[in-house]
Structures are given as structure tokens and as C-alpha cells.
Structure 1
Amino acid sequence: MHAGVGQTVAKIILFGEHSVVYGYPAIAMPLRNLRMIARVEPTTRPSELSSLGWVGPLDEAPARFASIVRAVDAALEFAGHPNARLRIETHAEFPPERGLGSSAAAAGAVIRAVLSAFDVDAEPEDLFDLTQMAERIAHGHPSGLDATATSSQSPIHFQAGATTAVQINLSAWIVVADSGIHGSTRETVGHIREEHERCPEVTRPRLAELGRITAEAVDDVRAGDVSGLGQKMNDAHRLLAELGVSNARLDQLTAAARSAGAVGAKLTGGGRGGCVIALARTSADAKRIAAALGMAGATGTWVYAPHAYEVAA
């Protein structure tokens, strides 16, 4: 065994959060400049974790690191060295609990680092399955979208476990803004599940509408229909708010983005905190929207050009 390194990235969900859990489609985009890096090396001491400012024995890690602990165990079992002792370190270039896929990214990076340390190759399907083991600890019943998107090189269409690359032909920019509030995907997924069981006649039509919007948005991103996509973002945010996964801060930020010229804006990820995304027609518009979001209380902003991705045929 030797030192190993693994890397994944942050992601945003353009459309389909929550409804994807019920079999509807989702569109997600990796944020390749926001990396999650894991490093592991052998040690003679009990396994140790250094992550998000916490350092200590792996078996004493706080509950928020449970998915990383599971990722280490799963990767060691896959590598055939379940009792190996490791020093594990993660470094994130984006904040946790913001709907950017931090738990899946951390698990995926750690798994890749452990397998690298043992020179063990794994197929994409194996990496997905291992990451899902860890994600079940973090989110209970994950759709698999985060596990896929945080290791993707291009935007993806995801539905019922099947993934295909999406060619985005939009001449537009996406502004991502951090609300500064921790979100909990596990909590919001659980909330919608409870509402789905309690009032299916109310919840099911909204989830179905989110599914329809996402399916039509795929055509918009391929055709370059910025106006149509922006309106669908606004409609999706309204439906997510009706499902109870928005909050006052997210509503305030999406409104501020629209007032600053965004074609559309919505929450992204689990909701009740985390991030919002806004669609801008030009780079200058994106900069103005990012500044307005900062004035409205966003603690961080990033601007991306989705048309910059190259999708292999």
C-alpha cells in the first residue's frame, strides 16, 4: 500500500430535485472548478480522519462524517483489505450542506483515494455502488443523482438510475449563489415522503408537474431556448416552494436575481437552505446578478457558462 488520491466535484441540479426520487427525470451539471480532494496514506496507528476542521480517530468521528466512515469501510472491503489502517484527509473547495453534493463528492473522493492506494481498479458501476452505500447513510434513500453527477465530466440527464450525457447549447450563463444556510436533503426528502403519504392527491400532481417541466427543459437546453428555460426555472421554484422545501431566504434570493435581470431563478438541491441558481443571457448580466445576490445576503457566488462543456458523442 502507498499514498492515494481521489477527486470529485460539486454539482448543481438544474431541474428535477425531489421529483427524481419518484422516478421522474432530472438534469444536473458538475461544477468542475469546485473540487473535492481526498488523500489517504498508511499508518500504524488507528485510522484517523481530517475533514472540515475535525481531526481524530475514524471510529470516533462525529455523526456528520458517518457517510465518509462508511465510504472508507466499503472501499477497503472492495479492495480486499478490510483491516487496513489509514490516515484520511479531505479538502473541499465548496461548502458542505448547500445542495452541491458534498456528501456524495466526499464519499466518492475517499473511495477513489483508497482504491488508488491499493492499486485497485474499479468500473464506473462499482464506484457508483460504493458511493451509494455511503449516500444511504447521509440521505436515507438517495436517487443516485449526486453519486453520478459529482463524478461526471459533462451535464447529465438522470432517470430511474439511467444516465445519459446532455449537450447544452445555451448561449447563457448560470449564477450559483450560496444562501449561507445549511440545508438537509435527508430532512426535505423525508418531508416530501410524509406529505406524499399523507396527502397524495396534493403532492403527486406537483411532483408530476416537476417531471414534465424537466422533460421539456431537456429540449430547451438542446435547442438553446433561454427564455423557455428561464420560465421553467421560475415555475419549478414555485412548485418546490408549494412542496415545502423553499424558505424565506431562498425566495428572497430568487426574487433578487429576477429583479437584477435573471431570465429565471430557482433553488437547487434539497432546499430549506443551500443554494439558488439564476439564468443570465450575457456575461455582463451574470456579473450584475451575482452582485445583486451578494447585496441580498448570499455568502458566495460562482458563475458558469454551461455551453463550455464538451459532450462526447
Structure 2
Amino acid sequence: MNQPVPANPFHTAALRLSDAPTVRAEGEGRVHGKVILIGEHAVVYGQPAIALPVNSVEAAVTLRLFDAARIDSDLYVGLSDAAPEEVAPVLAAVDAVTQAAGFEKGQVGVTIRSSVPVGRGLGSSAAVAGAIVDAAASVAGLRWNDDERYELIQASERIAHGTPSGLDARTVISDHPVYFQHGQASRIEVGTPFGFVIADTGRPSFTAQALAGVRVLHELDHDMATAAINRLGELTEASRIALADGDVPTLGTIMTEAHGLLTRIDVSSAELNDLVTAALDAGAIGAKLTGGGLGGCIIALAATPQATDALATALTKAGAADVWTMTLEATR
């Protein structure tokens, strides 16, 4: 049965692209994860950051229109009204698409299957929200542009993270590297394929705690913290050039220096440092923590995309709880 078209900006913009939307009973959405290449923490202080899409992990959502809203996920299975606090970001995403797509409130059910690990800095909440958004568009017969998708994802991210920068929401719906500063995202060109390995310490990252620690350090040792943050900004700019030039050695050197700076501002951990050392010992051109820190993952640059499997094996032997390989393809 066709739903009434509501007067809201998301639906109006989408309707221009799909003149006669037809509501279906079921639709699917799939959105990949993300990893921060460089710029974490510094981005909070106005410096740029670069994030990469990670196609080896993804969130898949099937959205259906029921008589009662429900959730089927690894965290919770049952009616939405009885859902625990842990799935509040999911409920926020469902509420956002319910309004934007013109669904009747309380009739949207979602089945979520995600390989994006939770609490590891790979964009789990943003990917799930993005898949919900795309599944809703499929059901409603609409096409939202990337800005509209971003805004809908951010509705969920605000519940998940309080005041999200928007980097995750931009990157999980991007097929290319994202340069992000002051809330604005732009595309980065890539001159040659780059091979990366992401390795999980097995411990969650503690982003809020790490951010708070950097704030305190910024007050107690302002000059040191400011110098580190500014240098991370310079390294991010240099990384953009290295990616565009296809300069693997320079990017690797930048990544390792960035890890040293992040360690200096106390957001690394023994487990992260051990994996960075293991990656470099195994032939990585560079390696660093990624994301909030104090746990979570590292990202290591392999000598070539073909060398990622051997590097992943070495990191597993060194104690990584999980590993993912990815190739960043050339765009020019």
C-alpha cells in the first residue's frame, strides 16, 4: 500500500529524483566500514584528517514494514519499544528514516547483520545507520543524495557519540578516501594502489576517555600538546600529497611518525604499540594506531597490495585478535 508523502526536505528532494516512488514491503541496504588513516584527535582541534573506506567489513540491513516495530540484531531481538539502551542509535536511525520516507510511526522493522566490529574505530554505528538509510530508500522507492544520507546517518551518530565530527558518516558512504576538516569533506585522488592491513588488539578503543585525556594534557602541557597536534595536521597534509603521488615510502614514514606523536599525547597502549612494532618487524612500510586509541586497532601499510596477506599472517601470529586486508585502488 502506498504511503502518504510527508512535507519534509528529505522526501521532497528524493521525490525529484524518483517521480513516482512505489512503497515495497521489504528493502535492503549495505554500507562498508571505515578507517582513519591519519588525523585522529588532531581533527578535534581544527586540523584535517583522512579516512578510508573499508570494503572488507560491512553492515547489511533488511527493512520491512510491520504492524509493530521490531529489531533483529546481534545485540537485541524483539520489539523496538522494549529495546535496551545499547540499541538507541539504531532506534534513532529508524526514527529518522521513518520521518524522511513517510512511513507510519511504529511500523518499521530492521534485521541487522554486521561484520564491522563494535568499539574498534571502524565505523560500526555509522555503517549500521547507513545501511538502515539505504534500506529505507529501497522500501520507499526513493533516492537520497549523499548529503541527505549523511544527515540521516548523523541523527543516529549523535545518539551513539554525542557530538560526532561527521567523519564516520561521510566515509561509510564514500567509495574514495575522504579529506575532512571543519566539518567539510572532499575527495582525495590516489596515484597508485596502496595495500593496508588493519589489526585488532582485541580490546575496545576508549574514545571518550582518550579525548578527555588529550584535553587535560592540552591544559597541563599546552606547548607540547599543541606542537604534537599541529605536527599531526602537517603530516595529514603530507599524506594527501603522498596518496596522490602514489608515494608508498613517504606515506609509511608519515604513518610511523604519527604513531609516535599519538603515543606522546597518551592515546596509545601497550597492545597497540606491540602490534605497530610487529608490523614494522614484518616488513610494513609504516604503521600506527587508528581511531580513538587506548585499544582498538592499528593500520599498517604493506610494501605492495600483494604483500598484505603475509603481513596479516605475521600480525595474527603476533597476537592480533582479528585482521582485515584492504587495497586502496588508484583513481588516476
Deviations 1:165-204 (A, max 9, x none): 2122245421111221112333333433444355433322
Gaps (5+ residues) in structure 2? 1-22
Q: CA deviation at 1:282?
A: 2.8
- Counterpart of 1:104? 126
CA offset at residue 283 of structure 1? 4.5
Q: Which amino acid aligns with 2:39?
A: G
| CA distance in 1 between partners of 2:261 and 2:87 (Å) | 32
The equivalent of 1:276 in structure 2 is 298
Deviations 1:74-131 (A, max 9, x none): 1112223351412211111232211111111111111222233222332321211121
Cα distance, 1:248 vs. partner?
0.8
Cα offset, 1:305, TM superposition? 2.1
Q: Residue 142 of structure 2 aligns with which residue?
A: 120
**1:4-19 aligned within 5 A:** 4-19=27-42
Give the equivalent residue in structure 1 for 2:282.
Answer: 260
Equivalent residue for 1:200?
Answer: 222
Q: What's the counterpart of residue 64 of structure 1?
A: 86
Would the alpha carbon gap of residues 140 and 5 (structure 1) be closer, same or farther in structure 2, given more than 3 Å must change? same
Equivalent position to 2:57, from 4, 20, 34 = 34
Structure 1 pair 21/261, CA: closer, same or farther in 2 (3 Å)?
A: same
Once residues 39 and 188 of structure 1 are traced to their aligned partners in structure 2, the CA distance between those partners, rounded to angstroms, is: 35
Normalised by the size of structure 2, how large is the TM-score? 0.87
User: Percent identity at matched positions?
Assistant: 38
1:179 aligns with 2:196: no
Q: CA–CA distance in 1 between the matches of 2:209 and 2:266? A: 11
Shift in Å, 1:232: 0.8
Aligned: 1:48 with 2:66 = no
Counterpart of 2:280 in structure 1: which amino acid? Answer: R
**How far apart are residue 153 of structure 1 and its match?**
1.0
- 1:129 matched to which residue of 2? 151
Equivalent residue of 1:151, what SS? Answer: coil
- Which one-letter code corresponds to 1:145 in the other structure? L
Distance, in Å, in 2 between the alignment partners of 1:10 and 1:96 is: 11
Paired amino acid for 1:141: T
Q: Separation in 2 of the partners of 1:217 and 1:37?
A: 31
> In the alignment, residue 151 of structure 1 is paired with which amino acid?
I
State whether residues 90 and 106 of structure 1, in contact with CA within 8 Å, keep that contact through their aligned partners in structure 2: yes
2:264 aligned residue (242, 250, 259): 242
Shift in Å, 1:277: 0.9
Contact 1:167-1:222 within 8 A present in 2 as well? yes
Displacement, 1:21? 2.3
- Select the structure of larger CA radius of gyration: 2
Query: In 2, Cα distance between the equivalents of 1:199 and 1:69?
Result: 41
Corresponding residue for residue 163 of structure 1: 185
* Structure 2 counterpart of 1:77, from 99, 118, 143: 99
Secondary structure (helix, strand or coil) at the match of 1:9 reads strand
How big is the alpha-carbon RMSD for the aligned residues of Structure 1 and Structure 2? 1.9
Q: In the alignment, which residue of structure 1 is the partner of 2:236?
A: 214
Contact conserved, 1:140 with 1:186, CA < 8 A, in 2?
no
Counterpart of 1:6, as a letter, is G
Q: Which amino acid aligns with 1:28?
A: A
Is the Cα contact below 8 Å between 2:75 and 2:86 reproduced in 1? no
Aligned length: 309
1:92 matched to which residue of 2? 114
Distance of 2:141 and 2:217 partners within structure 1: 46
Contact conserved, 2:191 with 2:330, CA < 8 A, in 1?
A: no
CA distance in 1, matches of 2:285, 2:43: 24
Summarize the Cα distance change of 1:133–1:191 in structure 2 as closer, same or farther, 3 Å threshold: farther
The answer (yes or no) to whether the contact 2:73–2:111 under 8 Å persists in 1 is: yes
Kindly provide the amino acid, as one letter, of the partner of residue 241 in structure 1. Answer: T
CA distance in 1 between counterparts of 2:220 and 2:92 reads 33
Matches of 1:284 and 1:83, distance apart in 2: 49
